Amino acid sequence: MSYLILTKHCGKCNQEKVLTDFYKNRAQPSGLSSWCKVCILARGREPEVLERQRIRQQTPESKEWHLRYAKTDKVKARRKKYNRNRSIEYPEKIKALSAVNNAIRKGLLPRPDSFMCTCGDVAKEYHHYLGHDKEHYFDVVPMCCICHRRIDAQSRHGTTKSSNLQNRY
């Protein structure tokens, strides 16, 4: 009986490696990163950092296409439906976000992009670290989008990746 071993070529080290040696990446046609895990880790980069760099390196034509696509009626309708559902589902978050945006507009809070995130990237938004209650509207920390999403996901699930691993074993 013969076994089929699927391999992929690493674009960094030029070696054929087993598919499990690659991170998942839905943007790639193969569904896997073009570099193996060893090469990515040797470079000291996480896959999300590589994705951030890829987005920054978009050509002017692709940026123009994305801007035109964002203005289509289909995208506008989808965004409107999403925002309506979000305001119904999370009214306290919307009020807290509006309060922070109004404070920035009036000059009471500095813009988040005048700060650096803990990861070293420029902060893009504020994180309500004490919750979205009215008394905590302005208890915020500037963060980049990726770190903010990560912290929100951890608080939603009440756990971190390292504690997930500890709970498993």
- Chain-centroid distance, C-alpha 153: 11
- Residue 57's CB: how many other CB atoms inside 10 A? 8
Q: Tell whether 24 is covered by a domain.
A: yes
Residue linked to tokens 């995208």: 75
**How far is it, in rounded angstroms, from Cα 108 to Cα 102?**
9
What are the pLDDT tens digits along the chain (169 aa)? 556 668 889 988 999 999 889 888 888 888 888 888 888 777 765 666 667 667 667 778 888 888 898 899 999 999 999 989 988 988 999 999 999 999 999 999 999 888 888 888 888 899 998 988 999 999 999 998 888 888 888 877 765 444 433 343 3
Q: Tell whether 127 is covered by a domain.
A: yes
Q: Tell whether 12 is covered by a domain.
A: yes
- Chain-centroid distance, C-alpha 99: 24
Range of the domain at 52: 7-57
- State if pTM tops 0.75: no
Total count of domains within the chain: 2
Closest CA to 28 of 3, 13, 50: 50
Q: What is the DSSP letter of 53?
A: H
